Structures are given as C-alpha cells and as structure tokens.
Homo-oligomer: A and B are copies of this chain.
Amino acid sequence: MILANARLLTMDGPEIDRGWVEIEGDSIARIGAGDPPGPFEDMGGDLLMPGMINPHGHLPMTLFRGLAEEVDDRLFRYILPLERACVTEEVVRIGTRLALLESIRGGVTTVADMYYFEDAIAEELAASGLRGVVGQTVATFPVPDAPDIDAAFAQADALAARWTGHPTVTPGIAPHAPYSTGPEILSRVAAWSEAHPGLPVQIHLAETADEIAWAAREHDRSTVEIVAEAGLLRPGLIAAHCVYLTEADRALLAQSGAGVAHCPRANGKGGRPTAPIADLAARGVPLGLATDGAMSGNTLDLFSQMAPATIAQKVAQGTRAALPPSQVLEMATTGGARVLGMADRIGRLAPGFRADLIRVSLDDPRQQPVYDLAATLVFSTLPSDVRSTMVGGRWLMIDRAVQSLDPAAILADARQTARTFGARIAEIDRSAP
C-alpha cells in the first residue's frame, strides 16, 4: 500500500512538501518525496504524521468525565467510593470503548492505561486495533478487582502470561503511587518487574503537594527518592506527572532512564504549577505528553494538551521562546515512544517503523495560512481535523468514520452507565457530613 500526494512530517528528518509512504504488512517500507513508485491512495495534499502517543491515562474514566469538577478532595470523596460501588468489568469495558473511540478520532495511535480489570481492557484494546500498554493497578486502598495485594499481583501475573508478545498490546503493572502503596509494596513491584523483563511499570509520581508532605513526614525523603530506593527508578518506569521535583529528584530522574508522562491539562485543572518540563528536557529525560484520565483532563487527544504544555512553560519562564511548538510535537510523538520504551518502532515515520500514522487536514480557515507547521499543529489544529487514523498498517478511521468500533452502541452504553453514576454521586452528596 502506498499513501501519496501528502505533506509529510516524519519526525525523522525535514518536512517533505509532497511525498509518499509505502507500507508493507504492519510497517513502513519506504518514504520518498515527489511522485510515488506505484499505484497509491491519494491523500489530497493533507498532512501525514506519526500517530500521537498518550503515555498516561485511565481509559474507563471517560465515564467520570465532568464529575465533581470543582472539588479539590475528589479522589477520596468521590472517585474511590464510586469505583468501589460501581466499577465492574462490564463498566470498565464500556468506558474503555468510549475512550478508544475518542482516541482513534483524535489521532492517538498508542495509549498507556492504568486501571482495574486490565485483562478486559486489553481485550477491548486488541479489538479496537489501537496500540497500548495496560498496567494492572496495585494499591493499599480497596480496589474493585482484587480483594488484597496478593490477588492484585496474581492478576498482574495472569495479564503478563496472556499478553506478552501480543503485536499491539503490552502488559505491565501499575503501583498506584508511593503514598498508596508504600516502600514495601514498591519493592515487591520491583521484584515482579525483574521477573518480567521488558514489561513497563506505571506510577503516579510527585503529583500532589500532599504526596510530597507524606513522603517528608513518613519517610524523611522525597517521593522520587522512595521510588528510587525501592529499585523502580530505571528504564521501563513510566512516571506520570512529576510536578513537584527537587533538584536532587531531577538529577535522579535524569540518571535513571525512567520516562515522564507530562499531563498539563490535568495538572492545571487541579490548581497545580506546571511540571518543570523544559528543565527535564534539557537534562535528557524521556518526556511524553499525556491526557491523564478524562475525569482529570476531560479529553483524550493530544491536540488538547500541546498548547497548554507550551503556554505553561512560557508563563513560567516569562518568554515566548520557551518550549517551542516543535519540541511539544516531539513530546507527543517520539517522546511518548521513548517513555513507553518503544522508540525503535513507533513515534516516527521511517522505514522499519510500525505504520502508525494519521492524516490531518490543514484546510480549515482557523489553520490558514501555514507559515510554521509546528505552530499550526500546536495552536490551531483540533482533534476534529484528523481525517484518518492508521495503526500497524490498518486504517482504524477513514474520513472520520471509525472502522473498528460501533460508535452508536458505545455512546448509548456510556449514557446508560452515566445515569447510574450520577445517581450514586447524588447519594454520596446526600450522605456527606
């Protein structure tokens, strides 16, 4: 298959005004400028670029989107009780399907998920065609899918046994956060990780001021130091947020090979300062751009995240030169691939890389004229400008029509579930002190 008559942003070399991409099986065989070497699908002058990579989120939480927007203590007041009461495997499947639908429509081709019932999420992911990492949650608070820690580890074992080697789904483990696991369980996760080489570990890290205070009070160190001492700060760790970092934390991160998933909308909506992304980038830390769950960031595409990411750095540094759009685009593609340990196969359009790509229209009046393609993509392009989405050589969306999922059924299921959630939230509010 050849896609031609396209503007190409490969993230692997200079822009190509008019070029072509040849695909064999699930990968890119060749890329060239000008006329294609054979029969082709005409991209009509639209942009082809790597599909975006979302290295941190909670797919099923689409069902929580817009709940308790103004409540600072939402995790303990609403989310955990609602999860214990309402989150079943079926609910997880419904929320995941909605998230996958939104991701495909928004130009995301790889997602990382940390939640519950990850085997079901892996099945939905595989059925959708999207590429992804699934991490079984381990935490000391009661969770909907495991009666205790041993059961959670057993689920992680089963997940790894079933999905290791799958072409698009990568299993892993997800200790919730240092404060919700503690050093001993983190050490046990490190041992699990040693026994499952190559599988990613996802964690929330240095996300809140409360977490920093807990680490100082209980352990007289930083939360990054706790993770490092447990043996987890190393390649394969996907650390989400990393908002509150000391100088020592930054140096530790830079030496470790761990990756950071930056969630600018979720952090900003939580009233938190921006993570020191420009500094981490200068230190060579692998950096991706992520959505977090839809209860935190509301949307699951990375177009929504790119402008907030660069604007927060410009404000923090007091100059428009901070974190230019080209660097934000790298975070959304090659950077995310590094964070997920997949930089040798996704995040670029290049021979030998997986054919994970999106066709993006640049013809909306809001996008014109185009002097600076990176600025156009970061500041003027919307998820709705993505025309088609391909993962592993398979079109998952063609001209806005998703091929691998049933949108009407997914929306109907989601609305039905939302009515249950809304009723439960009302109960929580009635019974609150």
Q: Which residues of A contact B (CB under 8 A)?
A: 62-63, 65-67, 69-72, 74, 98, 101-102, 105-106, 265, 268-274, 298-301, 307-308, 310-312, 314-315, 317-322, 324-325, 363-366, 368-372, 375-376, 379-380, 382-385, 407, 410-411, 414-415, 417-418, 421-422, 425
In whole Å, how far is A348's beta carbon from the nearest beta carbon of chain B? 23
Q: Is A366 within 8 A of B269, CB to CB?
A: no
A415: B residues at CB distance < 8 A: 368-369
Query: Which of B298, B300, B320, B410 sits near A375, CB closer than 8 Å?
Result: B298
- Given known pairs A307-B265, A308-B308, A321-B72, the reply for A368 and B98 (CB within 8 Å) is yes
CB < 8 Å: which of B106, B265, B366, B421 contacts A383? B366
- Give the residues in chain B near A363, CB-CB below 8 Å: 411
Contact of A311 among B268, B414, B418, B425 (CB under 8 A): B268
Bound CA span A268–B269, Å: 16
Closest residue of B by beta carbon distance from A372: B66
* Complexed CA–CA distance, A314 and B421 (Å): 26
If A101-B365, A271-B315, A379-B298 touch, whether A324 touches B66 (CB-CB below 8 Å) is: no
CB neighbours (8 Å) of A74 from chain B are 320
Instruction: Report B-chain residues with C-beta under 8 Å of the C-beta of A375.
Output: 66, 69, 298
Chain B residues in 8 Å Cβ range of A319: 72, 271
List residues of chain B with CB within 8 A of the CB of A384. 364, 382, 384-385
Q: Is the interface of A mostly helix, strand, loop or mixed?
A: helix
Chain B contacts for A322, CB-based, 8 A = 271
> Can you list 19 residue pairs at the A/B interface with Cβ under 8 Å?
A65-B369, A66-B375, A66-B379, A66-B380, A69-B324, A69-B325, A72-B321, A102-B365, A265-B307, A268-B314, A268-B315, A270-B320, A271-B314, A271-B320, A364-B384, A365-B410, A369-B415, A371-B425, A384-B385
Q: How far is the CB of A367 from chain B (nearest CB, A)?
A: 8
Nearest chain B CB to A93 CB, angstrom units: 15
- A179, chain B: closest CB distance, angstroms: 19
CB-CB nearest in chain B for A97: B365
Q: Nearest chain B CB to A88's CB is how many angstroms away?
A: 17
Asked if B299 and A380 sit within 8 Å, CB to CB, the answer is yes
Bound Cα distance A369, B102 (Å): 12
A379 touches B299 (CB 8 A): yes
Known: A65-B380, A269-B314, A315-B273. A366 touches B301 (CB 8 A): yes
B315 touching A369 by the CB < 8 A rule?
no
Contacts A299-B380, A311-B265, A375-B298; A368 near B65 (Cβ below 8 A): yes
A50 to chain B, nearest CB (A): 21
Are B366 and A299 neighbours in the complex by a CB distance under 8 Å?
yes
A384 to B385 alpha-carbon distance, docked (Å): 9
A375 and B295 CA atoms in complex are apart in Å by 11
Residue of B nearest to A317 (CB): B271
Known: A102-B366, A365-B105, A371-B418. A376 touches B66 (CB 8 A): yes
Supposing A66-B375, A384-B382 touch, asked if A368 and B411 sit within 8 A by C-beta, the answer is yes
Known: A102-B365, A272-B318. 14 other contacts (CB 8 A): A65-B369, A72-B321, A98-B365, A102-B366, A105-B364, A105-B366, A265-B379, A269-B320, A298-B380, A301-B366, A365-B410, A369-B414, A371-B418, A382-B383
Contacts of A272 in B (CB 8 A): 315, 318
A98 / chain B contacts, CB cutoff of 8 Å: 365, 368
Min CB–CB distance A215 → chain B (angstroms): 19
CA distance A299 to B368 in the complex (A): 10
